[in-house]
Structure 1
Amino acid sequence: MAEQSLKEKTAKGLFWGGLSNGVQQLLNLFFGIFLSRILTPDDYGMVGMLSIFSLIAGSLQESGFIAALANKREISHKDYNAVFWFSTGLSACLYLILFFCAPLIAQFYNTPQLTALARYSFLGFFIASLGIAHSAYLFRNLMVKQKAIAVTIGLIASGTIGVTMAFLGFAYWGIATQSIVYVGTVNICYWRFSSWHPTLSFDFRPLKGMLSFSSKLLATNIFNHINNNILTVILGKFYSGQEVGYFTQANKWNSMGYSVVSGTVNSVAQPVLSTLSDDRERQQRAFRKMLRFTAFISFPAMLGLSLIAPELIILSITDKWLPSASILQLLCIGGAFIPVTNLYSNLIISKGKSNIYMWNTICLGIIQLVTMLLLYPYGIRTMISIYVAINICWLLVWHYFVWREIRLSLFMALKDVLPFAVIAAGVMAAAYYITIGITNLYLLIISKILIAALLYTAIMWLSRSVTFRESLHYIIKK
């Protein structure tokens, strides 16, 4: 009965997570197209240079406590309250530090305008700190629907304001304001949907029990942000703002793609895997099922995005962004594997092995940093190709640690993932060659999408894929 209840909760979470992330990325796409048509690559480059500082500050304020609260066996008001006041106080201190360091950041990039923009943009992570405890509450209780509603409202409000400001000539200030409005709106919704609220009692003793776990996640998240943004930093230092803008635009589209899959799975993976942490056999079965579902969605979605990248860029945001299309095609190959990597890391965290998660990510970050610094004279595309290859190969390292925890062999993992990857790659290659003679861009992109979708669906149906049939059954049922 309990297993059936957990299965229903997981299916419901995946459904709402998938629906939510699909809607979110459509909204991102809608507003992103308007912004990209109005703004220039230099505008995006300005904001992109600052992203790593905001993300690292955001990791420091969150300090891994969301995952720590989700993995705690028993939890009380004091635990949430301690996290709330700690995050708020720390983020206020971090904002003051970054406020006075803004001229140094501008000097590093040789861009004086970044001083004022940095001081304004960094307000976003301070505002975000006010919703960390509430986000943890919703996450722990698998309130995926409520989080989906909050994010959707935030995207609509912030996107409208961002596009309006860009149209009125505020340039990169519109992008910065969009981010601030987004986190503010989402936090208001989190407060509304959560039955927990902070009280004026400053007892930080509950943090002691979480620090050994959360501190490792903190270090890991910082290195994750460094790993994901190292190219932006190096490009900002050694290349022009325009080239940073092209990369930022391509990376945004890539992120929108894999976030649909990652967000769907991540909304339930860690809470569900944590629930099963005492039963290795059940946990392995649940993990393999999630792994198949992730591969089933991720590879056709991301390789499909790579297939239509040139037409999509030209038709949606005009040919002034065409140089970003080839960058997007490379990033999408790596993007297909990111949801799989995220699922592996969720399993490690659910077993309480935050130290493994931390050192694995740090080692990857160091390798990427050294490699990118050595490769920057050889051009952006060489750097991106090697960056993608390193991330894909590192999956073998993640798998080793998963094998140690739940004895999932490499053969079984490849059996779960490889068929979907090979079929998706073959389908995209077939769609490309079938449509190679079409010159009309509208007809070309529609033909590629229809042919790829029909071929992939047909192969899934004829091969009697269990994952495909279960997903189809659940959608029809809903």
Structure 2
Amino acid sequence: MSKKILSNSVYKSAEIITTQGVQLLFSIALARILSPADFGVFALVMITTQICCSVITSGMAMAIIQKDVVTEKQKSTTFYILLGVSLLVYIILFLFRIEISTIFGNDKIAELIPFAGIIVITTALGQVSNSLIIKSMKFKLIFKINIISLILSSFITILIALKGGGVWSLIFQQVILTSLKSILSLFFGDWRPKLKFEIRSVSDLYSFGKNLTISNIIGTLFNNLYTFIIGRNYSVEVLGFYNRGKQFPSVLVTLFSGVISSVIFPILSRAKSDKYTFKNILSDSIDYVYILYVPLAVVLYFCSESIILFIFTEKWLPVVPFMKLMVINYLFLPLQGVLAEGINALGRTDLFLKIEIFKKVALISVLFFSIEFGLIGVIYGQIFISSLSAFVNYYAVRNVLNCKLDLAVLGVIFNVLICFLLGLAVFDFISGYISTGIVFVVLYSILFLCLYFVYVLIFRKEMLIKVMALRWAA
């Protein structure tokens, strides 16, 4: 089963590496053309669209993947329900655009919402077809669809930005991207919507998906709460710096955690009746993510200033402290994500919803306390919530679902501590000769990664051999 994870990860890895690379290049180009304020306004607009999209994503789409047999009537009914809901949501967005802009304290948002709202409709169009492609584990097709959509939308966006499009260019990119993804998934996938509709046929999909949908809405609301608080209480420029600080850590998390999380859910769903296999898949997935992710996170943390200066120029230098804190914050997300996939694969969406509600109550409490300490205090509170969320997911998997992963989690903690201590030692050594610049990044990366490889070879040799063996087997 572990070989199956790695085999299916090949195209998913290629997709994420390529898409993240293109997005990074696209983002760097736009950061040199647009201002931090443009990115700040864009972040506020995307809060609205992401919340609306959360109504139509995750729930019934995940149910299609999790359910062993899905009839044609269920597929088509789900498609028309999601499309209808998206149209209703768009109308609500349009009617209340002025009130929404008032809430965010930015009049520009009212102008952008009618166009940005199209993202909700274009996302709904591809939900069923994309879920069926994932269910069939056709990650090669997903790779092709995503990379074509991303390259075309990015190219058009750069042209609009060069013509003075400002924040509109960022909105255009999202509309074009979601439109192309949905169109291509319908065109290249094996399924097309039929003229079949019966509400009763999707009752079981709804039963599974309703808790996930509620959890997704709650999660999206609270994931964007920090963006809203920062944008509302500070300037859009500061919000632009904050979001830019999340970018590189987010890319790393998506690169490694995203691959495994996307692949293991359908595999875990098939192995849910075999407790031993189920546990091994979760344990191996955690190891795979952290043995590769942590060293790169350490390099990003200690080389953040040099990276920002070289790539984004001095106007983005205030990003550095945000980036360092976000590296620490994102260390907890892969563990949290993998364990969440395990909970959902067992069909315990009720437990997942309860966990999400608990986390959000904790988030509000911590945010209310930390906001008194300024923006940096808010981010420290965010780090605390991420660590608490990972612990709660681990507790649920271990004690409620009786799936013990103690050795895997202890291995992660040990690996993180050793990596940062080793990274600090290398930083102090390199800084004695050169302080910043691309040369510093290159020298630091080479020396640290070589020492990390030696550490893995000595203390984690079994896992290294296992990963490499599975890679070649894949």
Deviation at 1:92, TM superposition (A): 0.5
Partners of 1:303 and 1:333 within 8 A in 2: no
Q: Is the Cα–Cα contact under 8 Å of residues 281 and 406 in structure 1 kept in the other structure?
A: no
CA distance in 1 between counterparts of 2:333 and 2:41 reads 26
CA drift of 1:470 comes to: 2.9
Greater alpha carbon shift after TM alignment, 419-428 vs 360-369: 419-428
Change (3 A) 1:63 1:455: closer
Distance in 2 (alpha carbons) for counterparts of 1:373 and 1:52: 20
Q: Shift of the alpha carbon at 1:423?
A: 3.0
Contact 2:125–2:182 under 8 Å retained in 1: yes
Q: Which runs of 5+ in 2 are unaligned?
A: none
> What pairs up with 1:168-207 in 2 under 5 angstroms?
168-207=163-202
Determine the structure 2 residue equivalent to 1:92: 87
- How many positions carry a matched residue from both structures? 473
Determine if the alignment matches structure 1 residue 451 to structure 2 residue 464.
Answer: no
| 1:74 and 2:73 aligned | no
The equivalent residue for 2:428 is: 433
* Alpha-carbon separation, structure 1, partners of 2:419 and 2:54: 35
Percent identity, please.
Answer: 21
Contact preservation (8 Å) 2:3, 2:473: no
* Shift, 1:440, TM fit: 4.8
Which residue identity does 1:462 align to in structure 2? I
**Contact 2:41–2:109 (8 Å) recurs in 1:** yes
Q: Is the 8 A contact 2:55 2:213 kept in 1?
A: yes
> Is 1:329 aligned to 2:316, yes or no?
no
* Equivalent runs, 1:50-449 vs 2, <5 Å: 50-62=45-57, 64-404=59-399, 406-409=401-404, 411-437=406-432, 438-449=434-445
**Per-residue displacement from partner, 1:445-474 (whole Å, max 9, x unpaired)?**
111221222121222123352332233344
RMSD: 1.7
Deviation string, structure 1 residues 37-83 (Cα, Å, up to 9, x no partner): 11111000101112221111111122511211111122222222121
Whole-Å Cα distance in 2 between the matches of residues 352 and 291 of structure 1? 20
**1:467 aligned to which of 456, 459, 463:** 463
In 2, are the aligned partners of 1:144 and 1:267 still within 8 Å (CA)?
Answer: no
CA positional deviation for 1:8: 4.1
CA offset digits 1:167-191 (Å, max 9, x no partner): 1110000000011111111122212
- In the TM superposition, residue 132 of structure 1 has moved relative to its aligned partner by 0.1
Alpha-carbon separation, structure 1, partners of 2:128 and 2:65: 11
Moved more, 310-319 or 343-352: 310-319
Q: Using the TM superposition, name which of 448-457 and 399-408 deviates more.
A: 399-408
More off after superposition, 428-437 vs 136-145: 428-437
Query: Greater shift after overlay, 150-159 or 58-67?
Result: 58-67
Structure 2 residue identity aligned to 1:267: S
Q: Distance in 1 between matches of 2:45 and 2:160?
A: 20
1:404 CA displacement: 3.2
Once the two structures are TM-superposed, the CA of residue 286 in structure 1 deviates from its matched residue by 1.6
Shift of 1:227: 2.7
C-alpha contact (below 8 Å) 1:25/1:256 kept by paired residues: yes
Deviation by residue 1:386-441 (Cα, 9 ceiling, x = unmatched) = 21122112322111110135534363243342232223223322231122131350
Q: Please, what TM-score do these two structures have when normalized by structure 1?
A: 0.95
Q: Do residues 23 (structure 1) and 22 (structure 2) align?
A: no
Query: How many Å separate the matches in 2 of 1:297 and 1:463?
Result: 15
Aligned residue identity for 1:172: V
- Secondary structure of residue in 2 paired with 1:407: coil
AA aligned opposite 1:320: K
Amino acid at match of 1:449: S
Query: 2:220, 2:253 → 1: CA distance?
Result: 16
CA contact (8 A) 1:226 1:365 kept: no
Q: What is the CA-CA distance between 1:351 and the residue it aligns to? A: 0.8
CA distance in 2, matches of 1:476, 1:162: 39
Cα offset for 1:361?
1.2
Q: C-alpha displacement at 1:477, in angstroms?
A: 6.2
- Any unmatched runs of 5+ in structure 1? 1-5
Distance 1:154 1:250 in 2: 25
For the Cα contact (< 8 Å) 1:461–1:468, is it kept in 2?
A: yes
SS at match of 1:201: coil
TM-score normalised to structure 2 length = 0.95
**Structure 1 pair 83/125, CA: closer, same or farther in 2 (3 Å)?**
same
On the 8 A contact 2:426/2:447 being kept in 1, the answer is yes
- Cα deviations by residue, 1:115-140 (Å, 9 ceiling, x for unpaired): 01122111112111100001110111
Equivalents in 2 of 1:398, 1:271: separation in Å?
A: 19
Are the equivalent residues in 2 in contact too, given 1:254–1:328 (CA < 8 A)?
yes
Any conservation in 1 of the 2:305–2:436 contact (CA below 8 Å)?
A: no
Deviations 1:360-388 (A, max 9, x none): 11221222123223332421111101211
